[in-house]
Amino acid sequence: MTDTIEAPVAAVTQERKIVTAVPGPRSQELHARRLAVVPPGVGAALPIYVAKAAGAILVDVDGNQFIDLGAGIGVTTVGHAEEHVVAAAAAQLQDVIHTLFTVTPYEEYVRVAELLAEKTPGDFAKRTVLVNSGAEAVENGVKIARKHTGRSGVAVLDHAYHGRTNLTMAMNYKAMPYGAGFGPLGGSVHRAPNSYPYHDGLSGAEAAARTIGYLEKTVGAADLACLVVEPIQGEGGFVVPAEGYLPALQEWCTENGIVFIADEIQSGMARTGRWFASEHFGLVPDMVLSAKGIAGGLPLAGVTGRAEIMDSAQPGGLGGTFGGNPVAAAAAIAVFEQIDAGNLLAEADRIERVLKSRLGALQERHEIIGDIRGIGAMVAIELVKPGTSETTREPNPDAVNALVAHAAAHGVLILNAGTYGNVLRFLPSLAATDALLNDALDVLEEGFAALDRA
């Protein structure tokens, strides 16, 4: 047994505190070192160098404390350095760090697979393969769907984001910055129009008919191995499809032997107040991909699917050196336990209520807030140009950039999103208290007021 682990949350006060310019002198120094050795292709949204993180607070090397509304892009859903996750990972470090599951297996991998089978939608036999990253989960999902169906076509939707590997680059909507110049990209990927209620005004049934019609015309259902959808699009700007859209797509997939894959890498693991966002739409995907929030910050991802689909891959065809690493798997087990023990699904609902009520009030005063959307702790606002017409709803990325900068300067980390960079997304950890959220929203409100004055 290990010694008692000191709860790191106690060491960091859950408050915003700015003591230097942002970024401060020590961060600037580190950033100069970084620029000498790390290529600019690796972005830097907010170059404050983090020394410590706990709960919903990031502490930088200059002693500034930021309210973290990004959670490492939806990764530290249970909170930074959540004490049970830390304890489980620390204990596992002492027992076994690595063996390679495909050589000499260990229980933690099996337990994560059992938990994913239990928590993903659908009451049928499931299997899970664990990998290292979201993109790798997408790659494996497609690979298995191709093997199972004997078909090659991969259907994706407009505004999708699936990763930065060769195949997933081809599956992204945005060429810039994700795919441009990095080709040739993986083939047989077909992109169809999605449901984007704020822009297309279509009902779920109409949008589904458009998507299906497009795919039948341009590829043909018989050539499609899978359709990969994010139930709520992440990088695309938290686009929530119209009611009935996703179920209609799933039905079409089932009728045509197309594997329906839910990329829940951002939306899964309690983020939206359900274990998986698919549940909000009544979906029972053939395959669910999880990653980001699954292990409290350690790298882990899973492909969970119907046994008969997953079993079609030949022995030795799946896996990888680090996939399902024992420490990451132990952390994931603690995350699963904490979501139940800490009643975190309800925390996501609480966060939605706080965010939406404050943002709704802001929208009444600021016409550039065109849309407020999202579910649970996955909420976004889409900003449009002042006086924009109902039909053009012209994107306003400048306002988003100004607000992100204002927030950062005042100790709040907010992420942008959206194909046109005109979406502000709120993706806090479920440890963010009402007080912290309200404080962060006060800062954002001042940012909007400053925009009006400019």
Ligand X SMILES: *Cc1c(COP(=O)(O)O)cnc(C)c1O
- Does 120 participate in binding ligand X (rule CB under 6 A)? no
**Residue with Cβ nearer ligand X (60 or 136):** 136
Which residue of 121, 163, 285, 323 would you call a contact of ligand X, by CB under 6 A?
Answer: 163
Distance separating alpha carbons of residues 77 and 45, to the nearest angstrom: 20
CB of 161 to ligand X, least distance (A): 5
- Does 121 participate in binding ligand X (rule CB under 6 A)? no
What are 265's two structure tokens? 């890498």
Query: 3-class DSSP state for residue 92?
Result: helix
230, 159 Cβ separation under 8 angstroms: no
CB of 163 to ligand X, least distance (A): 4
Which residue of 24, 70, 121, 134 would you call a contact of ligand X, by CB under 6 A?
Answer: 134
**Residue with Cβ nearer ligand X (263 or 371):** 263
> 297 forms bridges with which residues in the sheet?
none
Residues contacting 139, CB < 8 A, separation 6+: 163, 165, 167, 168
Find the DSSP H helices in 96-133.
107-119
- Name the one range near ligand X by CB under 6 A: 90-98, 158-166, 324-332, 356-364: 158-166
Return the amino acid letter for 8: P
* Site map 246..275 versus ligand X, x via CB under 6 A: -----------------x-xx---------
CB of 178 to ligand X, least distance (A): 10
Q: Of 292-311, which residues contact ligand X (CB under 6 A)? A: 292
What are 127's two structure tokens? 């299997």
**Residue with Cβ nearer ligand X (109 or 173):** 173
Residue nearest to ligand X according to CB distances in the complex? 134
- Does 425 participate in binding ligand X (rule CB under 6 A)? no
- Does 291 participate in binding ligand X (rule CB under 6 A)? yes
- Name the one range near ligand X by CB under 6 A: 91-99, 127-135, 173-181, 275-283: 127-135
β-pairing verdict for 415-417 and 126-131: unpaired
**Residue with Cβ nearer ligand X (262 or 400):** 262
What are 98's two structure tokens? 């690595």
**Residue with Cβ nearer ligand X (28 or 165):** 165
Q: Of 175-204, which residues contact ligand X (CB under 6 A)? A: none
**Residue with Cβ nearer ligand X (169 or 436):** 169
CB of 167 to ligand X, least distance (A): 12
Which residue of 69, 81, 88, 135 would you call a contact of ligand X, by CB under 6 A?
Answer: 135
Render 402-434 in DSSP notation, one character per residue: HHHHHHHHTTEE-EEESTTS-EEEE---TT--H
Instruction: Single out the residue of 230, 266, 200 nearest to residue 426, CA to CA.
Output: 266
Residues across the chain: 454
In eight-state DSSP terms, residue 51 is E
**Residue with Cβ nearer ligand X (134 or 153):** 134
- The size of the interface with ligand X (CB under 6 A), counted in residues, is 14
CB of 139 to ligand X, least distance (A): 9
Which residue of 108, 230, 286, 382 would you call a contact of ligand X, by CB under 6 A?
Answer: 230
**Residue with Cβ nearer ligand X (67 or 135):** 135
Categorise residue 79: left if φ over 0, alpha if ψ from -120 to 50, beta otherwise.
Answer: left
**Residue with Cβ nearer ligand X (163 or 370):** 163
**Buried-exposed string 392-428: b where 16+ CB fall within 10 A, e elsewhere:** ebebbeebbebbbebbbebbbbbbbbbbbbbbbbbbb
β-pairing verdict for 378-383 and 301-306: unpaired
- Does 234 participate in binding ligand X (rule CB under 6 A)? yes
Render 260-303 in DSSP notation, one character per residue: EEEE-TTTTTTTTSSSSGGGGGT---SEEEE-GGGGBTB--EEE
CB of 263 to ligand X, least distance (A): 5
Compute the C-alpha angle 406/407/410, nearest 5°.
Answer: 90
Residues binding ligand X (CB under 6 A): 133-135, 138, 161-163, 230, 234, 263, 265-266, 291-292
